[in-house]
Structure 1
Amino acid sequence: MDEDVAVVIEDGEDIRELLAQVLTQGGFAVHSAADGATGVELVREHDPIVVTIDVNMPGIDGFETARQVRAISTAYIVMITARGDEIDTLVGLQTGADDYIVKPFRPRELRARIEAMMRRPRVLASTHPSPPHPSAPQPSAPQPMHTGSIPTQSASSLEIPDAPSATWAEGDTEHASLEHRGLRLEPGARVVELEGAEVELTRSEFDILRMLLNSGRRVVSKMQLAGMLRGERGEPDHYLSEHDARAIEVHVANLRRKLGESPSEPRWIETVRGVGYRRTA
């Protein structure tokens, strides 16, 4: 049986070798590049299932590299960032990346993140971007290896009390189509349409939207959304870190932007301050 392929795009030799070693130990055939342009060509040549991309590289940076990779590949993309660049990297999730990890990182954390991503379908909702529907409100300015769970981090102020699981609310409707106010989501095809026009979403955006639409009017916490993206069923067993919370906030902001929704006048997604989100009435 052929090995799964991974591509590592990282200009730092030590980090590049560490990433390659971790992925090789996980059973991947690894190809490495020291710059974005070379990395994109490796993706084109080898059709990997996982790509790691450093944010700060000579030539084209990690964001542009991720855009070019996403244009030709459905690979799972993990952005690698220095701590001081973390917020920029989170915003960069809109380029199509599935997750990010902050240097310095532990190999176990990287393996756990990739394991979580690979539990989710390797299919994008669409391969061609669509602008927000003209009738929609305009927005305001602006993840297999077997390793166990991601290391627990300390709780943040955004942690909430225990809440009912909203993984698939109101019965197991995981494969049923969902519709709300002109927005239609087809889980099986992983397609989202707004009044008949297809909308391009990343995996994370698609899965968040599906969970919110499927929850009825029940509030879905950021902790539950983060757990869902990690492939957890039921109540998540970890604390919500600042990194987790910020990632969910950025995913939702990008989702709203693509739908043409204003947070102050939501058509589909309401923010429940200090807790999470829910579907509009």
Structure 2
Amino acid sequence: MQDRGTIVVIDDEANIAELVAMYLDRDGFRVVTAATGVDGLGAVQQHRPRLVVLDVGLPDLDGLEVCRRIRAHSGVPVIFLTARDGEIDRVLGLELGGDDYVTKPFSPAELVARVKAVLRRADGTAPVDVLQVGGVAVDAGRREIRIAGEVVAFTTKEFDLLQFLAERPGLALSRQQLLDGVWGYDWFGDPRTVDVHIAQVRKKVGDAVAITTVRGVGYRLDP
């Protein structure tokens, strides 16, 4: 079977972690599990996974804090596991750049499908040229964003969103167009994630380029 790379699963419920690991292993992934936030951070640093499955409700560190610490040094895709609707609001509202979330209880097969969908989008073939829009350079080949010549760290989804907008400067795009183009037609989730990621991208690009809210439509990138 093809080796699909390593996934770190951080969840203190052993039965859930073992079930998820079993399904991912069947699909060709190597799986490293951790029951605490501290151990999970160590696993991410040691194994350099392709993706992290992260429970929001951990016993030591809050899962959102774990994500913040991961994001400080890595753009690895993160799928959140949430137990309550209120946690979904926290995930979306704190602009942490999660690539997807799954609400417990969930089907392990559905989680595996989402893992593969996120990885397909993260690993998608992209043109090798550099797209310059305003003061922002989008290097699709290296998957880097440079602002005023300096590389700025973007998560996988933030990069994809900015690239999608930069390829269509001056064009007003609806939230649904952004969801379809960036998250994919097979994405399940809250459309508010577009607004969350737009806010995060705006913070990072600053004045280098303008992302304008188009009332009643969505967003437009203005060089």
Same fold (TM over 0.5): yes
1:62-81 CA-to-partner distances (Å, cap 9, x unmatched) read 12222333456554321111
- Percent identity over the alignment is 37
Match of 1:60, SS?
coil
Match of 2:7, SS?
strand
Q: Is the 8 A contact 1:90 1:100 kept in 2?
A: no
Work out the CA distance in 2 between the residues paired with 1:199 and 1:10.
30
How far off is 1:103 after superposition?
A: 2.1
Q: Which amino acid aligns with 1:88?
A: R
Q: Give the corresponding residue for 1:278.
A: 220
Provide closer, same or farther for how the CA distance between residues 34 and 249 of structure 1 changes in structure 2, counting only shifts above 3 A: same
Q: Which amino acid aligns with 1:13?
A: A
Q: Which amino acid aligns with 2:128?
A: H
Please list, as runs of the form range in 1=range in 2, the aligned pairs for 1:131-280 lying within 5 A after superposition.
Answer: 174-230=127-183, 232=184, 236=185, 243-260=189-206, 267-280=209-222
Q: Is the 8 A contact 1:222 1:245 kept in 2?
A: yes
1:135-156 CA-to-partner distances (Å, cap 9, x unmatched) read xxxxxxxxxxxxxxxxxxxxxx
Q: Which amino acid aligns with 1:104?
A: P
Provide closer, same or farther for how the CA distance between residues 178 and 122 of structure 1 changes in structure 2, counting only shifts above 3 A: same
Gaps of 5+ in 2: none
Structure with bigger strand share is 2
Provide closer, same or farther for how the CA distance between residues 255 and 30 of structure 1 changes in structure 2, counting only shifts above 3 A: same
Q: CA RMSD in A?
A: 2.8
Structure with bigger helix share is 2
The one of 81, 84, 95 equivalent to 2:86 is 84
Task: Give the structure-2-normalised TM-score.
Answer: 0.84
Match of 1:178, SS?
strand
1:17-64 CA-to-partner distances (Å, cap 9, x unmatched) read 332232123222222111111122223333322221111111111122
Q: Give the corresponding residue for 1:56.
A: 57
Work out the CA distance in 1 between the residues paired with 2:20 and 2:53.
8
In the alignment of these two chains, the number of paired residues is 220
Gaps of 5+ in 1: 124-172
Q: Is the 8 A contact 2:5 2:30 kept in 1?
A: yes
How far off is 1:196 after superposition?
A: 2.5
1:235-259 CA-to-partner distances (Å, cap 9, x unmatched) read x4x7x97x43111110001111122
- Bigger CA drift: 31-40 or 106-115? 106-115
Work out the CA distance in 1 between the residues paired with 2:142 and 2:12.
37
Q: Which amino acid aligns with 1:84?
A: G
